[in-house]
Structures are given as structure tokens and as C-alpha cells.
């Protein structure tokens, strides 16, 4: 059975997709057989995996009952992918009217989870039935947060939602912890939020020691498709990495931080 990890936060732009991709990549580099599921109609993960227009997507699996194994795209060095696209926007309405709508992702994964050691789910910035599906399907969640004002306030309601859903959908669900992302120590508001983050009550939520630093290489590497013809060595290096911060190089902060985070997460999970 695979270890299943959801990356959730209903707040947009906090680093969910980045964390999902880099964590998948890190686990693959460590040696695990890894799958990432793009559970977001924005399809940002699918875009970084550069698979063109996928024939079948998560929408086909969740709503049209296509087996998930027929949706998986193999061949990327970062890991296997279940792609998404804009069709998935319709899913939330379909799921609400259907029966057992919260468990569709869980049931779809059950068919293939023996093929993988780790399955990571990138969820979109929404609460409701889409997030319920993720919470019902996984062993635990990682909550990325930006070091911005009000980030902590939003967390209270997010953690409340997760705890409420846990009782109903998945009593064994773990909240692995809070991951500070995009941290720039030169920015005073970031330092202030970091202090608040450190002071959060550990009995309410675990805070990961690894902090993901703001690293220009991350958006560059994930945006490699913006480069048509590389105009210098730096663009050539970005293009060659094909979306993998690990392939881009061992010495950038993105690679170092996400590798450290993957190892820390495994320790947290094995302690539970
Ligand atoms: N550590 C980082 N350093 C620099 N930029 C980053 C970092 N992490 C994420 N970003 C950038 O921040 C933006 C938002 O990140 P991302 O798409 O991962 O957030 P998200 O939570 O998935 O957003 P959404 O809620 O829309 O799905 C992206 O442009 C991404 O490249
Ligand atoms: Mg995203």
C-alpha cells in the first residue's frame, strides 16, 4: 500500500503545487516509486509535467469511472502523473449531486495504490467537496503556508475544517504539519510571520523545521516552457531541467530545502 500525502490549503498561491511537484521529485530521487495526482482544474502540475493535451484526466476517472491506471502518464523522471485540465471544474457540481461524492478519489486510488510507494495529491485552492475528497483519500496532509500577514488567521479555520472532516470521512487522517514556504529573511513581514509560526502551539499543529526559502530558480525551472529558444547558458540550463529542480542542480536552495523536507517528512511519519 502506498503512503498517500495530500498537499492542502484553501488559500491560493501558498506553494501547494510547488511542494507537491518538488516532494514527488524528491521521493523519486530518494528511490521511491512515486505518483502525483493533479487534483486541481488549474492543472498547474500537469503543465509543469509538459504532457501536452492529455487524452484522459482525473475528471474521467472521478466522474466517468475510467480506471485511474488508464489515466496515469508514465515516463517523466520526476514520477508518474495523473493529469488534470479545465474540465475538472465541473467535477465539484457533479460530486455534490452524486452519491458518496466525498470518496471518489479514495476509491479511484484504491485500484492502483499497490503500484506505488508514495502518492502525492496536489489540491486546488478550494474547500468543500474537492478538499473532502483529498482528506478522505490520504494518510495525512501537509499544509504549506506563506509568510504573509493573515496567513496564520486562515490556518485556524483550515485546521478546524480538517479536524471536522476527519471525524466524518477519515478518522485515521494525520495532519503531518505546517510548512513555511517562499521565505525571504530580508523581508520584515516574513521574519514577523516566522516568529508567529514558531510560537504556534505544537499541540495544535506540528511545524516542520525545514523552511522552504524563496528561490528564483523554482518559478524559472517550473516555467521552462516559456523558453522557446534559449538565449544564454542560464536559459539552456533551465530548459534542460524540464521542470525538475533536482535536475537543475544540487546547489540551489529549492533542491536543498525540498530534499531536506522530504527526509524530515519521512521521519515525522515514521514517528507516528
Ligand atoms: N520557494 C519558492 N520560491 C520562489 N517562488 C515560489 C516558491 N514556491 C512557490 N513559488 C511560486 O509562487 C507561485 C505560487 O506557487 P504555487 O503555484 O505552488 O502555489 P499554489 O498554492 O499551488 O497555488 P494555487 O492555490 O493557485 O494552486 C508560483 O509562481 C510558484 O512558482
Ligand atoms: Mg496549485
**Which of 13, 14, 244 is the best mutation target for the ligand 1 pocket, counting ligand atoms within 8 Å of the beta carbon and taking the most?**
13
**Which of 88, 219, 260 is the best mutation target for the ligand 1 pocket, counting ligand atoms within 8 Å of the beta carbon and taking the most?**
219
Q: What is the pLDDT of residues 113-140, one digit of tens each?
A: 999 999 999 999 998 999 999 999 999 9
Categorize the per-residue pLDDT at 272 as very low, low, confident or very high, splitting at 50, 70 and 90.
confident
What's the CA-to-centroid distance between 132 and ligand 2, angstroms? Answer: 17
**What order do you get walking across the sheet with 34-39 strand by strand?**
80-82, 34-39, 118-123, 3-7, 140-145, 174-180
Which atom of ligand 1 is the closest one to the Cα of 21? Answer: 18
Q: Which CATH superfamily is domain 3-271 in?
A: P-loop containing nucleotide triphosphate hydrolases (3.40.50.300)
Pair 124, 11: CB distance under 8 Å: no
Categorize the per-residue pLDDT at 195 as very low, low, confident or very high, splitting at 50, 70 and 90.
very high
Q: What is the pLDDT of residues 9-67, one digit of tens each?
A: 999 999 999 999 999 999 999 999 999 999 999 999 999 999 999 999 999 999 999 99
Residue in the structure block whose three cell numbers are 513581514 = 189
Residues with CB under 6 A from ligand 1: 12-18, 40, 42, 44, 124-125, 181-182, 212, 214-215, 218-219, 222
Which atom of ligand 1 is the closest one to the Cα of 222? Answer: 31
Domain ranges of the chain: 3-271
Q: What is the mean pLDDT of the chain?
A: 95
Amino acid at each position: 500500500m502506498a503512503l498517500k500525502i495530500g498537499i492542502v490549503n484553501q488559500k491560493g498561491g501558498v506553494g501547494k503545487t510547488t511542494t507537491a511537484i518538488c516532494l514527488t521529485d524528491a521521493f523519486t530521487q530518494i528511490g521511491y516509486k512515486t505518483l502525483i495526482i493533479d487534483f486541481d482544474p488549474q492543472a498547474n502540475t500537469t503543465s509543469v509535467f509538459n504532457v501536452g493535451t492529455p487524452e484522459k484526466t482525473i475528471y474521467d476517472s472521478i466522474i466517468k469511472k475510467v480506471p485511474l491506471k488508464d489515466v496515469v502518464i508514465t515516463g517523466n523522471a520526476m514520477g508518474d502523473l495523473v493529469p488534470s485540465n479545465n474540465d475538472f471544474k465541473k467535477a465539484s457540481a457533479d460530486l455534490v449531486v452524486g452519491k458518496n461524492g466525498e470518496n471518489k478519489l479514495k476509491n479511484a486510488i484504491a485500484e492502483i495504490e499497490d503500484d506505488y510507494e508514495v502518492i502525492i495529491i496536489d489540491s486546488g485552492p478550494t474547500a468543500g467537496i474537492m478538499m473532502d475528497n483529498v482528506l478522505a483519500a490520504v494518510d495525512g496532509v501537509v499544509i504549506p503556508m506563506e509568510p504573509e500577514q493573515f496567513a496564520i488567521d486562515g490556518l485556524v479555520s483550515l485546521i478546524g475544517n480538517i479536524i471536522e472532516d476527519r471525524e466524518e470521512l477519515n478518522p485515521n487522517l494525520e495532519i503531518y504539519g505546517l510548512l513555511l514556504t517562499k521565505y525571504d529573511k530580508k523581508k520584515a513581514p516574513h521574519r514577523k510571520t516566522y516568529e508567529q509560526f514558531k510560537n504556534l502551539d505544537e499541540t495544535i499543529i506540528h511545524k516542520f523545521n525545514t523552511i522552504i526559502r524563496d528561490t528564483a530558480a523554482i518559478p524559472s525551472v517550473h516555467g521552462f516552457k516559456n523558453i522557446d529558444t534559449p538565449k544564454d547558458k542560464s536559459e539552456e540550463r533551465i530548459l534542460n531541467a524540464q521542470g525538475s529542480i533536482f535536475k537543475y542542480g544540487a546547489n540551489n536552495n529549492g533542491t536543498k530545502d525540498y530534499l531536506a523536507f522530504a527526509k524530515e517528512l519521512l521521519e515525522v511519519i515514521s514517528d507516528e
